[in-house]
Chain A
Amino acid sequence: AQTVTQSQPEMSVQEAETVTLSCTYDTSESDYYLFWYKQPPSRQMILVIRQEAYKQQNATENRFSVNFQKAAKSFSLKISDSQLGDAAMYFCAYRRANDMRFGAGTRLTVKP
């Protein structure tokens, strides 16, 4: 079974600084998708960024970027110029066909 591991239950970053959230996954497949989702307190889960496994280039979305290491099965999220609104639970997710798995989540606190 595919598993997704987020080893950092909590992270903290100073406003305007950069933070990296870690994620590793286990799969025997070569074609799959990886995602980072953000869930603010009491609010809806939204997609932050996605990565197709067949693409070598790391995905970027404004201040959010990933470091995708396929051989190492690692998929970290870097948030640059952190803002107070970035405070949330962040979930790493793996998907192949109908199988989608989520990590346990990392709670990010942003200090003013």
Chain B
Amino acid sequence: SAVISQKPSRDICQRGTSLTIQCQVDSQVTMMFWYRQQPGQSLTLIATANQGSEATYESGFVIDKFPISRPNLTFSTLTVSNMSPEDSSIYLCSVGRDRGTYEQFFGPGTRLTVL
């Protein structure tokens, strides 16, 4: 398994500001994923971040709004830019095996509230 930590665990931000969420994994992984989850709702994939290449964004998510960095095999950041109340959500970092069982492991999430 993989142990994933996220910082911050929660934050309350003002409209128009930006927040960068950090994701640290205890082992080297090829694939990292960023999800958004409204409380009590399912997960929506924002983007896939592979080291050494630009992130691949899902429909409805753009790099200007959610820039992602992946400087090495154990770390990634997601920035939520120019925030509005609609961005209030839980943001989850996830890593996946690219072979074997193909399961994904999830971080504890970052609960973001935008006022």
In the complex, which residues of chain A have a beta carbon less than 8 angstroms from the beta carbon of B63? none
Question: Pick the contact of A100 from B33, B41, B92, B101 — CB < 8 Å?
Answer: B33
A-side binding surface: helix, strand, loop or mixed?
A: strand
Beyond A98-B48, A100-B33, is A91–B43 a contact (Cβ under 8 Å)? yes
Closest B residue to A9 using CB positions: B40
Stretch at the interface among B14-22, B71-79, B106-114: B106-114
Task: Evaluate contact between A105 and B41: CB separation under 8 angstroms.
Answer: yes
The reply to whether the CB of A19 lies closer than 8 angstroms to some CB of chain B is no
Q: How many residues of A contact B (CB 8 A)?
A: 20
Q: How many contacts A-B (CB < 8 Å)?
A: 42
Task: Evaluate contact between A44 and B103: CB separation under 8 angstroms.
Answer: no
Distance (whole angstroms) from the CB of B24 to the closest CB of chain A: 15
Task: Evaluate contact between A100 and B104: CB separation under 8 angstroms.
Answer: yes
Give chain B interface residues in 70-109, CB to chain A under 8 Å: 92, 96, 101-109
Distance (whole angstroms) from the CB of B28 to the closest CB of chain A: 17
Beyond A44-B107, A45-B92, A100-B33, is A33–B43 a contact (Cβ under 8 Å)? no
Task: Evaluate contact between B102 and A44: CB separation under 8 angstroms.
Answer: no
Ordered by A's residue number, 18 sampled pairs between the chains whose C-beta atoms are within 8 Å are: A35-B103, A35-B104, A43-B108, A44-B107, A45-B92, A45-B106, A47-B104, A93-B104, A95-B102, A98-B31, A100-B33, A100-B45, A100-B104, A102-B42, A102-B43, A104-B41, A105-B40, A105-B41
